[in-house]
Amino acid sequence: MKVWSKAKAKKNWQSWAATFPACCPKGHFLGAGLSLEWKDENGEVREFHGGTKLIFGFAGVFLVCLMGLAVCGGLLVRAWDEQLELANYRADYGVYTERMAKLMDNNEKLQKELGQVVQLEDAVRKKLAQDGVKIGEETVDQKSKELDNGGQGGSTTADQLSVLEVQDEINRKRLGYKKENLTNMLLALSYSGDGTYGWPLSGGEISSFYGMRADPFGKGSDYHPGIDIAADYGTPVRASATGVVQEAQWNGGYGRFVSIDHGNGMLTCYGHMSAIAVTPGQHVKRGDVIGYVGSSGYSTGPHLHFEMRQNGNTVNPLNYARPVR
């Protein structure tokens, strides 16, 4: 605060009082203090004398008030932000809880349906075993095994929602896999072919069905265009039907590969063999040896990949060939 000398303060006060005579009481500065005089409604002269301490006191009170206003303003802004944040949280929480309720309901329905499919699957598997059709134990479950990573949990609403979403996806995939396996087993059980196409191996067991499956190398899921029949290394592979050998060579992931044209747009394919016993253009009859079981190409062990194509599109071999009983 600037403190004036007595002479300068008096001069400034007189100038102010002359300019605004109606609103300024008569007064003068005493030293570094302030003296005011005015007449009340009865005409009596009133005086006020204030020293520097009083002036500084008023100034201090004024500064404290300003600081208080600033603090209050900051608190009000903070309270407003917290209210907005709370409103957003409530809105998000409402969305979360609604989504969680739907997912929980869906998961319960999926679990119930999955249990029914598993029971039917077990019954069909037993019937196939009684009829002598061998299906590898892992065939039915290998697709869903990739989804089993143990239980999960979470402490927050977002964590719980995330867990439920993952569980919902897993249950849907598992149910889809189970239904697909069940369909294939029912095909093997209720063969409706006309006998034109035979089983390419004597013995062995189905280790992988046609359609979507778990990648045998652990890379998620992939589409399997045929069926895999596990058998001992070197087991003779036989032509499924009469036809002309179209291809007999190494074919990428198929390894040692043979395809036979049977006419009418139908083709049978045989992959992963250890050796090939025919040549392109050769005429073969049903049951002729065309190669031997192996594990060439993209393979995890000895088996035959048996594939059928109709007009260039793969079809499920179980619709045409019946497993050896």
Question: What would the 3-class secondary structure string for the chain be?
Answer: CCCCCHHHHHHHHHHHHHHCCCCCCEEECCCCCEEEEEECCCCCEEEEEECHHHHHHHHHHHHHHHHHHHHHHHHHHHHHHHHHHHHHHHHHHHHHHHHHHHHHHHHHHHHHHHHHHHHHHHHHHHHHHHCCCCECHHHHHHHHHCCCCCCCCCCCHHHHHHHHHHHHHHHHHHHHHHHHHHHHHHHHHCCCCCCCECCCCCCCEEEECCEEEECCCCCCEEEECCEEEECCCCCEEECCCCEEEEEEEECHHHCEEEEEEEECCEEEEEEEEEEECCCCCCEECCCCEEEEEECCCCCCCCEEEEEEEECCEEECHHHCECCCC
The total number of residues shown for the chain amounts to 325
* 240-273 pLDDT tens trace: 999 999 999 999 999 999 999 999 999 999 999 9
* 283 Cβ contact partners less than 8 Å away, ≥ 6 residues apart: 243, 244, 245
Q: pLDDT averaged over the chain? A: 75
Residue 170 has what pLDDT?
Answer: 75
Q: With a cut of 60, say whether residue 314 has pLDDT above it.
A: yes
For domain 195-319, give the CATH number.
Answer: 2.70.70.10
Q: Give the tens place of pLDDT for each residue, 65-88.
A: 888 777 777 777 777 777 777 666
What is the pLDDT, as a whole number, of residue 140? 46
What is the token pair recorded at 12?
């400034």
pLDDT classification of 49: cutoffs 50, 70, 90: low
Question: Given this model, what pLDDT does residue 315 score?
Answer: 92
pTM of the model: 0.55
Give 309's strand partners: 267, 314
Where residue 295 falls among pLDDT bands split at 50, 70, 90?
A: very high
Domain boundaries, the chain: 6-50, 97-188, 195-319
pLDDT in tens, 2-45: 444 555 555 555 555 555 454 445 544 444 556 666 666 777 77
Q: What percentage of residues in the chain have a pLDDT greater than 70? A: 66
Q: Do the Cβ atoms of 274 and 238 come closer than 8 Å? A: no
> Has residue 230 got a pLDDT over 50?
yes
Whether the CB-CB separation of 320 and 241 falls below 8 Å is answered with no
Q: Quick check: 146 pLDDT over 70?
A: no
Q: Is the pLDDT of residue 139 over 60?
A: no
Q: Which of 253, 136, 121, 249 is nearest to 185 (CA)?
A: 121
Give the per-residue pLDDT at 258: 97
- Note whether 120 and 182 are within 8 A (CB): yes
Over 80: is that where the pLDDT of 306 sits? yes
